[in-house]
């Protein structure tokens, strides 16, 4: 009987140890700053954090992408219930399954394409409905934003029915490149010369990727996925969903082109 009790205890301990390991996560990236309370240091890429670790968020906008080898990708962020002055919480309390939608294809609807945070990898090329929005020297799109209390208008480039967004053309004032972080939001307008009207379509935060940083970050994630035996199709979807979860809405076609030109997908 005693032997059975000892055996049961050993099995229980081993099972508990295995469960504890499954509740730990590898940090993939961090946006903002999140401090691991037990070390007093900000978490960073490739750190390991566990469900019962306490985190201190520098702000409610801080978040991190993490990976469980068994359960997949998660996002650590302050939930609606936790938002407030108390920015200290357990990992397990702010852990959310990664989400996303990869349905964007072909001609875009300008009314739904842009959201609160719109993230661009490289150059964004959007096929526009040319019947409703013809583009030529008299009809075109432009962005308007405020920079240091100055109103800035930036005419967007185009080619036939394709609207083009490039960082160096947009975030440039008086011939000088500016920090995009100093621009709170941009508004997209459509100008029609014959009517002498500028129609506002949407307002959003336009963010262009730090491409070298993003390459390193995503290549590390891809290597983890390859080492865990994931196939090419799964990795492609995961990389695109990861970008959306961490950085904001993307145009899937443009992002996919950038991924295959810049990352270690093969």
pLDDT of residue 100: 63
Q: Compute the average pLDDT of residues 102-113.
A: 80
Confidence label for 85 from pLDDT (cuts 50, 70 and 90): low
Q: Compute the average pLDDT of residues 18-31.
A: 75
pLDDT of residue 6: 44
pLDDT of residue 71: 86
pLDDT digits (tens, 9 = 90+) for 133-153: 999 999 999 999 999 999 999
pLDDT digits (tens, 9 = 90+) for 50-72: 999 999 999 988 999 999 888 88
pLDDT digits (tens, 9 = 90+) for 190-213: 999 999 999 999 999 999 999 999
Percent of residues, the chain, with pLDDT higher than 70: 87
pLDDT of residue 108: 87
pLDDT of residue 81: 54
Q: Where are the beta strands (DSSP E) in the chain?
A: 24-31, 34-36, 41-42, 48-50, 54-57, 63-68, 72-77, 88-90, 95-97, 117-120, 124-127, 139-147, 150-155, 157-159, 162-165, 172-173, 176-177, 186-192, 197-208
Q: Do the beta carbons of residue 222 and residue 165 sit within 8 Å?
A: no
pLDDT digits (tens, 9 = 90+) for 166-176: 999 999 999 99
């Amino acid at each position: 009987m005693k032997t059975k009790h000892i055996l049961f205890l050993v099995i229980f301990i081993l099972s508990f140890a295995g469960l504890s390991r499954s509740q730990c996560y590898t940090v993939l990236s961090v946006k903002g700053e999140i401090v691991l309370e037990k070390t007093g240091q900000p978490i960073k890429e490739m750190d390991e954090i566990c469900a019962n670790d306490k985190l201190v968020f520098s702000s409610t906008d801080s978040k991190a992408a993490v990976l469980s080898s068994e359960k997949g990708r998660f996002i650590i962020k302050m939930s609606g219930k936790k938002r407030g002055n108390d920015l200290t919480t357990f990992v397990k309390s702010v852990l959310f399954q990664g989400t996303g939608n990869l349905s964007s294809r072909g001609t875009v609807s300008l009314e739904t394409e842009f959201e609160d945070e719109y993230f661009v990898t490289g150059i964004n090329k959007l096929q526009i409905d040319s019947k409703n929005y013809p583009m030529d020297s008299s009809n075109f799109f432009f962005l308007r934003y405020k920079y240091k209390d100055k109103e800035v208008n930036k005419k967007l480039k185009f080619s036939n029915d394709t609207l083009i967004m490039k960082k160096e053309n947009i975030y440039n004032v008086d011939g000088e490149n500016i920090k995009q972080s100093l621009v709170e939001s941009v508004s997209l307008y459509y100008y029609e010369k014959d009517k002498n009207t500028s129609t506002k379509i949407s307002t959003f935060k336009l963010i262009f990727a730090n491409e070298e940083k993003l390459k390193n970050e995503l290549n590390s994630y891809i290597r983890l996925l390859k080492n865990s035996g994931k196939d090419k199709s799964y990795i492609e979807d995961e990389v695109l969903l990861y970008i959306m979860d961490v950085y904001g809405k993307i145009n899937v076609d443009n992002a996919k082109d950038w991924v295959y030109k810049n990352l270690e997908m093969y």
